Amino acid sequence: MQKNVSVSFRALSMMLFCFLSLSMLFTACGDDDDKEEEVITYPDGTTCTADGSVYCVNGVYAQPEIVIGEGVAKNKLTVDVTDSKGTTVTYTFKDLNGNGALDDYEDWRLSVSERAADLVSKMSLDEKAGFINAPSIAGVKTTDGSLPENSTDITDITDSYRRFGMLSSPGLPQATAAYINNLNKLCEASSLGIPFVVSTNPVHGTNNNATTSISQWPFAIGLGAVSDLEVTKNFALIARAELSALGIRCLFGPVADLATEPRWQRINETMGSDSETIAEHIVELIKGFQGGDSLQPGGIICTVKHFPGHGAQVKGYDSHYALGQYVVNPGDNFDEHVYPFQKAFAEANAAGSMPCYSIYKDQDFEQVASGFNEEILTNLGREQLGFEGFYTSDWGLFGIYNSGYGMIIPGSYASWGVEDLTPEAKIGKAIKAGMDQLGGHGTLDDIKGAITEGFMSEDDLDRACVTILRSYFTIGMFENPYADEAAAASICNSETNSAAGLDAMHRSMVLLKNSSALPVSASAKIYYEGNSSGTDNVFANFIEGGYEAEVVTDITQADIAVIRISGPSYSTFYPTEPTFMGYVGPSSRSLQYIDEAPDTEYGITPADYTDPVGVLYENVEIAGNIDQLEKVLNARKAIDDASAATKLIVIVNADRPVVVKEYVDKVDGLFLTFGATDEAVLDMVFAYEGLKPSGKLPFELPSSDAEVEAQLEDVADDTLNPAFEAGFGLTY
C-alpha cells in the first residue's frame, strides 16, 4: 500500500507558484524575481500602467501566449511598435471576429473595462441575453471528451449563446480538459469568438474512499478544524492548479458563511463559527485561487458566497423551502456575518459573489430575497463594502428550469418576497437590483421580455455583461482559453497533491474521548467497519497490507473495534410544503438520531421506536439513517454480552454539529471527522509514523436538541451547557 509522503509546505508552495505563474505569463520564479525592468516610452509618449492592461508589468507590456484552437478558422494579427529608443517590438493578437482588423476587445494592451465595453457594443440582444445565463452543462459523455452530435451543450452555445456553465462533477482529467477545450473551440469559431467559462462548486472535499480525478481533502469545515493558514494557502494553490488543468476557470466558492446555527444543513461548506478566523482563511483562499491580491491572468474566478451571510437560517431550515425563507438575527449579530465578506471584498478583491436565497427578516432591508434586493446588492455590497466583481444568482432563484419540458416549472422555489411576479418581472427586478448573472435559469425569451415589458433596459443588460466580461478578460480567456490535455492527468491528483490532502485529513480529525484505547498497537486484532461495506476482504487487505494488524470478523475476538458512522440525517415530507423536481421538503432540525420533539406543528407524524438494546422511545421521529446509531449500539451489546475486552472506537463523520449523548458513554474512543478516507482514519488510529491528533472543534457540540432550540441563530456557540466547546480537541 502506498503510504503517506512527507510534504514540505514551503517547497510545495514554491513549486506550485512557479507552475501557476507560467500561465500568468508575466511572473517568473528565480533569482531575478525582484529585478526591475527598465521603463520605456512608446511613440504616443506614455507607458502602460498597472490600472490599465492586466499584461502591464513595471510599465512594460508582457506579450501573452495567443492560442487558436485546432481546426478553428481564426487568425493572429501582429502590430509593430517602436519604443523611445528606436527598438521595434512586435505584438500578437487574436482576430476573434475575423475582420482582419484589431478591434479594441481583441487588444490585450487595453484595460479590461475598455475591452468589455467594446465587445458588448458589438453583441446582439440575443447574444447579451444568452451571455448572462449560467446553466448547468451536460458534462463529459465520451471517453475522449468529444461532444456528441446531439449534445445540448452544442445547441446551448450555437442557439442560446451561452458562454458559461456549471460542471457538477469533473470526470477523468484528460477527458474533462478535452471536453472543455471542445466547448471553447465551438465558441472561438463563432462570429465574435467569445470564450466559454466553466465553473464548479468546491469539489475537493471527500468523505468516502472513491478514487477521483483530483486530490482528496477534508471539506471546508475540516480546514476550519485544522485552522492553519499555511494549510489553507496550500490547499488553494493545489486546488487552483488542478481545476486549471481540467479547464475549469471559476469556483462557486469559497463559502464565507458562519456556522452559528447548528441545525443548518450546509455547515460542512463553511469553515466554522468564529468570524475573525473565518475571514482570515477566506481571504487566503481567494488570494490563492485568484493569483494574488486581486484576480490575475491564469487565476480562478472566486464567487464568494452566500452574501451577505447565510448562516443564521431560521431554526436551521433550508432556504430552498418556505419554512427556511428567512435569515434572522435575534442576537442583533448581522454585522458579524457580513464581516468575512467585507474582508473578502476589501483584502482579496473577490471577483464574484453569490447572494443568499433568503429574506433578511430582522434587518432594515426590503423584504425580498437578497438576489432581488438593491439595498443588499448595490447599497451594501457595492457602495458600502466596495465589491467590484459580478453577482451570480443561486440556482433556481427565478423558478426551476426543466430542460426536458423546456419551461420554467410554476411555483416560487426561493423567489421569496416576489413569488407572484412573472419571470420577466423577477429578472428585471434582480438585474435592476445589481444582479449580473442568472444561475441555472434557462431561456432567452423572458430575459428579452424583461426589456420589452419595461422591467429593465438594454443598458441594464449591457452593464451586467460588462461586469462579467471584465473577469473573462482578466484571466486571459480571450488570448488562450485552452487547457493542456496531455498534462491534466499528471497534475490532477498527483502523489504530492494527494499527500498534502491526506496530511490535511489527518490534521482535521478531532479526538473527543479516549479511555486508554488509543493509539492502537500495530499488532492488534482489529474489527473494522469503514465507509464502505465493513470488514470484507477489501478492508482486510487494506489494513493488513498497510498496518501489520490482524483483521477479525467477530467483534468479540478483537482487541479493538473501529466503527465509522455518519451524523444523523433526515429527509422528511412536510405536508405544508409544495414539492418540486423530487424535493420533498427541508430536513429535520434534530442533531440526534432520535428526535424526541419532532416538528409536529408542520405536520410530522411521530411514532414509537425501540432501539437494539430494548429501550422504548414514544412519539419520536427517527433519522433516516438510524442504522448508524444501531451499528454502535449493536457493537456495544455484542461486546458486553460476551464479556469481551474489545475496546470500541467510533469515528463520526460530521457535516454539522452533532449531539453525542446517544452513544458517547458507550464507546472507549470517539473521533469527529469532516471528510476523511479510511486511510486517513487508520493512520491516526494506529498513530502511523508518530501521528497524533491535532484538530480542534470549529464549532461547539451542543448537549441536547432542547438546548439547540433555545440558542440564537445568529450567535456563535451560545448553547447553555455544550457537551464540547469550540476549540476542544484531545491528543495522544
Q: What are phi and psi of 687, to 5 degrees?
A: 50, 50
Contact 612, 633 (CB under 8 A): yes
- Quick one: which of 646, 642, 671 has its CA closest to 658? 671
Own/partner long-range contacts of 408-411 (Cβ < 8 Å, ≥24 apart):
408/442, 408/443, 408/446, 409/580, 409/581, 411/578, 411/580
Cell numbers found for residue 107: 487588444
List beta partners, residue 563.
529, 650
Q: What are phi and psi of 522, to 5 degrees?
A: -60, -25
CA angle centred on 471, ends 470 and 476, rounded to 5°? 105
**Is the bond preceding 308 in cis, omega lying within 30 degrees of 0?**
yes
CA angle centred on 552, ends 547 and 553, rounded to 5°? 135
The per-residue DSSP string of 437-471 comes to BEET---SHHHHHHHHTTSS-HHHHHHHHHHHHHH
What is the CA 636 to chain-centroid distance, rounded?
38
**Start-end of H helices in 71-219:** 112-122, 125-131, 152-158, 173-188
Cell numbers found for residue 81: 511598435
- Quick one: which of 112, 107, 249 has its CA closest to 181? 249
What is the CA 349 to chain-centroid distance, rounded?
18
In sequence order, what are the residues at sequence separation of 6 or more whose Cβ sits closer than 8 angstroms to the Cβ of residue 598? 588, 590, 604, 606, 619, 620, 621
Q: From CA 319, how far away is CA 397, in angstroms rounded? A: 11
Q: From CA 478, how far away is CA 194, in angstroms rounded? A: 7
Q: Which H or E run includes 228?
A: none
**Start-end of H helices in 475-536:** 485-491, 495-508
What is the CA 27 to chain-centroid distance, rounded?
27
Q: From CA 700, how far away is CA 267, in angstroms rounded? A: 12
Count of beta carbons in the 10 Å neighbourhood of residue 80: 8
- Quick one: which of 300, 691, 240, 283 has its CA closest to 502? 691
Count of beta carbons in the 10 Å neighbourhood of residue 546: 16
Count of beta carbons in the 10 Å neighbourhood of residue 211: 6
Tell me, what amino acid is at 590? Answer: S
Q: What are phi and psi of 284, to 5 degrees?
A: -70, -35
End-to-end C-alpha distance for the chain, whole angstroms? 25
Q: From CA 397, how far away is CA 462, in angstroms rounded? A: 21
**51 flagged as catalytic:** no
In sequence order, what are the residues at sequence separation of 6 or more whose Cβ sits closer than 8 angstroms to the Cβ of residue 635? 555, 561, 563, 648
Q: From CA 163, how far away is CA 184, in angstroms rounded? A: 9
Q: What is the DSSP letter of 517?
A: -
Q: Are strands 60-61 and 390-391 parallel, antiparallel or unpaired?
A: unpaired
Contact 20, 484 (CB under 8 A): no
User: To the nearest 10°, the Cα dihedral for 169, 171, 177, 180?
Assistant: -50
Q: From CA 59, how far away is CA 62, in angstroms rounded? A: 10
Cell numbers found for residue 153: 451543450
Q: What is the DSSP letter of 398?
A: T
Cell numbers found for residue 356: 443568499
Catalytic residue, chosen from 153, 156, 274, 394, is 394
Residues labelled as active-site residues: 394
